[in-house]
A and B are shown apart, each in its own frame.
Chain A
């Protein structure tokens, strides 16, 4: 497992939720958005993207529907549900706290 893959684990879910916070996206769109908001640090491969999307949908945080892509192709779009939004807030707060603590520890400790 590469360092990136290790990083990805556990962070992927919250990144996907974040990617979908403002807009509904299809699979490739989610992948590109995650790459965008992490300044290219995360390249989400389909092998982890699709299982994660389905897992989040199964958890009730995302809902999916078929629609038209920008290229006028049929594509499956994901959007946050109310529960997903709450989950994103919760996880954001949690990550902030962890990040704060880690930063304090590593910089000041």
Chain B
């Protein structure tokens, strides 16, 4: 039979089922009549004949059931009947159904959301690349860590020596100033690439062409650009005549030769590339100096290659030797980004997995309790002749309905959440984003399996029980006790909720502490504006005069109290670092260049204008700070952090000593300068909120090479606005391009933003967990109360007071809570080490917070066991005993 014929038959069978059913009735009746008539002919009386015929036929329902089993489409009918019956059963107990479905969908929806986002952000290669699994990135190894960024000679080395790669490309991306024909200026992300970049990625232009190797020969810049589809649409109105137009980037004219395909936005994490330009044009745009391709210290190039047929990332790794360079297996996600998001996802991921488990545990508790309550029903149905298989099938359908509803709801919820957070995710750069089917299948599978398993439990629990016995005891009010499995489930729920709530509390407590601690500088009313004279193509002389003029110009305005220029501000993030040696101990320049000796001190090095410490309110433990006279014409000086002073000389209050500072410059050298330490700065928060005593060294801005700069200003009574800050810049020099604005408030907030989000999520999960475990305790105590109603009635009749009964009942809940608390403590001890590694500045387990959470938990559980206990303690003994 063809499938569609079979289908048509099933359909016909279902459509005509009622007819068939009455046909069968009639057929059996006719049989009875015939048989009766036959018996009559043999001389039986009417009554005898009829009885004999009936006896022959046997149990009519049984005969009908076996006839029906032979009908086609009967399984579908049975299924539909089971479904409609299950729907009625579930609808009859809406509280159970809603809680079960809500619990499960919460657990699996949460897990799906979090892991879909994680998958999109962490493991998906950037979109738009041909066979991304055959593209692998090359990393540098620093102290065993993989770091993105190779020098051009490194790149050439990789390209020359590896055979695993068919071809290797390099690129470096940076924001650049685009001057529009109308004079307005915008910042665009420009990716400078080798000529084979597009070929290696397998990216073809949607319009025009891409540039090739002949246009990217080192030393011969060819000013052409390819626009990304996004920038073509947003910046150029999707104009199809854009080819051949010229763009002004950092005062260099480029010709547009092509537009990239939709969806391809480069391979940089956190950046959507707007424009691709040939690598050698880094020179005419003043970003790199001529000869950068020979600079071994300029490790700014991201390098990736396409693996040859049959070659693996491991083969490439083996070829590179693994000393200084290695191959990353997954392409597109930068290692630093991993650092950035890993703790977030590790914590949230862990919490959400716990929540999924908890949801499953909770649904199990619900079903277990219900199973006990349904024993009489099951027994009755068995007694009425329902086959065990049919009962089990119907219970499975019930479970499947609950799980199915939860999967649909959870999936939809995840979809909604992931879509809503897509904008946030886009900040992380080009990302493939959406609910991950495999994740949903996994979470849904776990939830469904659990539900199906616990749904048929009522069957297992009445196995081998004579229906009549169950019915008799059930009506008399005696049910089976709370099973061990139930106790374990409730205890683990309590443990998990205590862990989650306390963890959230500790993370929150930690960020509160970080924010409220004395930062060591005065953070009030500080605003910053960032500008990059190098990017604007300035020389040191022009920069120097602006830097000298800016603070005075700023302080001339009524809304500014004080101002200073520096390369970095507290809490703004990483900065350059240098290697520091005791006076006379620096190795010869040639040998020091590649790798500093092990144990060498690598402080962060910040160039600051005169009066920096005073302006920020950072106190000096010894010596003086920089004055306008500390410039290119005077002897090199430095201020060191207290920790650096201790590390060098074991003394925090020393000045007048000399040290040697080696810092790489963009010209390929790492010159060592002998500087006099004129001051020691007191402890204050620097790169991050939890980092208040780092190795650090400050040098006068007038004695430092050209770098990106910050104007830091303190407002009078209020934080200066972005407009004011940008105004100050353009008044000092109309050509300065303000490239970024921050306020200290923002930096402090951002410093703990991730932790705040983590603690909020985990806190929400924890409260949900708490609620779920309270429901569990409530259910168990309520169940025990129902089960022991006779015993309680007898006790009450014998003179026990209501409160005595209550204590007996609540003892159960209290015992479970205590066990859960102990288990939670152990779990917390184990998870706190993970949390400590993931959250900055986090100390060990904070007993005060854990204690507070435990009290909260105990109160919730006490309430959860109090309510059913009180109800039970108010029974009227005579009423209960009369029911016997």
Q: Which residues of A contact B (CB under 8 A)?
A: 26-28, 45-48, 50-51, 54-55, 58, 69, 71, 73-76
Contact = CB atoms under 8 A, between A and B. Distances in A.
A46 B56 contact: yes
B33 interface: yes
Interface string B53-79: 000111000110011011110000000
B66 A69 contact: no
Given A26-B30, A50-B27, A75-B30, A58 B58 contact: no
A18 B34 CA distance: 22
Contacts of B28: 46, 50
Contacts of B337: none
B731 interface: no
B69 A76 contact: no
Given A50-B67, A54-B71, A71 B26 contact: no
Contacts of A69: 30, 34
B31 A27 contact: yes
Interface of B: 23-24, 26-28, 30-31, 33-35, 37-38, 56-58, 62-63, 66-67, 69-72
A28 B35 contact: yes
A50 B67 CA distance: 6
17 contacts: A27-B31, A28-B34, A28-B35, A46-B28, A46-B56, A47-B62, A47-B66, A48-B66, A51-B67, A51-B69, A54-B67, A58-B72, A71-B37, A74-B30, A75-B30, A75-B34, A76-B26
Sorted nearest first, the 8 A-B pairs with minimum C-beta distance are A55-B70, A51-B66, A28-B34, A54-B70, A76-B27, A75-B30, A27-B31, A46-B57
Contacts, number: 60
Contact of A27 (B23, B30, B70): B30
Contact of B30 (A48, A55, A76): A76
Contacts of A26: 30-31, 34
Contacts of A28: 31, 34-35, 38
A71 B34 contact: yes
Contacts of A73: 30, 33-34, 37
B36 to A, nearest CB: 10
B852 to A, nearest CB: 69
A89 to B, nearest CB: 21
A28 B30 CA distance: 9
B402 to A, nearest CB: 35
A27 B62 CA distance: 17
Nearest to B66: A51
A51 B33 CA distance: 19
A48 to B, nearest CB: 8
A85 to B, nearest CB: 19
A73 B27 CA distance: 11
A74 B56 CA distance: 20
A26 to B, nearest CB: 7
Nearest to B65: A51
B70 A51 contact: yes
Contacts of A55: 70
A54 to B, nearest CB: 5
B345 to A, nearest CB: 57
Contacts of A54: 67, 70-71
Contacts of A71: 34, 37
Given A50-B31, A54-B70, 5 more contacts: A27-B30, A45-B58, A46-B31, A51-B70, A76-B23
B457 to A, nearest CB: 32
B71 A58 contact: yes
A27 B53 CA distance: 13
Contact of B58 (A47, A51, A75): A47
A46 B72 CA distance: 20
Contacts of B23: 76
A45 B38 CA distance: 15
B423 to A, nearest CB: 59
B126 to A, nearest CB: 59
A69 B33 CA distance: 11
A46 B56 CA distance: 7
Contacts of A27: 27, 30-31, 34
A58 B1 CA distance: 12
Contacts of B71: 54, 58
